[in-house]
Amino acid sequence: MNFIERTIERAAADRKAIVFPEGTDKRVITAAAEILKRKITDVVLLGDEKEIKSLAGGLDISGAEIINPLTSPKRSEYVDTFYEMRKGKKGMTPEKADEMMKVNNYWGVMMVKKGAADGMVSGACHSTADTLRPALQIVRTAPDSKLVSAFFIITVPNCEYGENGTFIFADSGLNMNPSAEDLSEIAIASAKTFKTLVNAEPKVAMLSFSTYGSAKDPLVDKVAEATKLAKEKAPALLLDGEMQADAALVPSVGQSKAPGSKVAGQANVLIFPDLNCGNICYKLVERLAKGSAYGPILQGIAKPVNDLSRGCKAEDIVGVAAITAVQAQNAK
Confidence category of residue 141, pLDDT binned at 50, 70, 90: confident
DSSP 8-state symbol, 62: T
Asked if the domains at 3-139+302-329 and 149-288 fall in one CATH topology, the answer is yes
Q: pLDDT: is 30 or 142 the higher one?
A: 30
* Domain spans in the chain, listed from the N-terminal domain onward: 3-139+302-329, 149-288
Burial class (CB in 10 A: 0-12, 13-18, 19+), 27: middle
Question: H/E element holding 271?
Answer: strand 269-271
3-state helix, strand and coil shares in percent for the chain, rounded to the nearest 5: 45, 15, 40
The whole-angstrom separation of Cα 17 and Cα 37 is: 15
Question: Which of 98-102, 196-200, 250-254, 307-311 is least confident?
Answer: 307-311
Q: Which residues pair with 240 in a beta bridge?
A: 205
Domain range 3-139+302-329, CATH architecture: 3-Layer(aba) Sandwich (3.40)
pTM of the model: 0.89
Report how far apart, in Å, the C-alpha atoms of 107 and of each of 77, 244, 257 are.
11, 43, 51
Report how far apart, in Å, the C-alpha atoms of 112 and of each of 78, 107, 124, 146 are.
11, 9, 19, 21
Q: Using the predicted structure, report yes or no on whether residue 174 has a pLDDT greater than 90.
A: no
Enter the CATH code of domain 149-288: 3.40.50.10750
Confidence category of residue 255, pLDDT binned at 50, 70, 90: very high
Contact 299, 148 (CB under 8 A): yes
Q: Using one digit for the tens of pLDDT, what is the confidence trace for 150-165?
A: 999 999 999 999 999 9
Arithmetic mean of pLDDT, 260-279: 97
Q: Using the predicted structure, report yes or no on whether residue 309 has a pLDDT greater than 70.
A: yes
Instruction: Tell me what the pLDDT averaged over the chain comes to.
Output: 94
Contact 225, 206 (CB under 8 A): no
Arithmetic mean of pLDDT, 199-212: 96
DSSP 8-state symbol, 149: E
How many helices (H) and strands (E) the chain has is answered by 13, 11
Arithmetic mean of pLDDT, 300-309: 90
pLDDT at 75: 96
Arithmetic mean of pLDDT, 30-44: 98
Arithmetic mean of pLDDT, 223-235: 97
Percent with pLDDT over 70 in the chain: 100
pLDDT at 132: 85
Arithmetic mean of pLDDT, 65-94: 93
Instruction: Give CA torsion, residues 56, 60, 130, 329, to 10 deg.
Output: 180
What are phi and psi for residue 113, nearest 5 degrees? -60, -40
Arithmetic mean of pLDDT, 15-20: 98
Type of residue numbered 295: G
The whole-angstrom separation of Cα 266 and Cα 203 is: 7
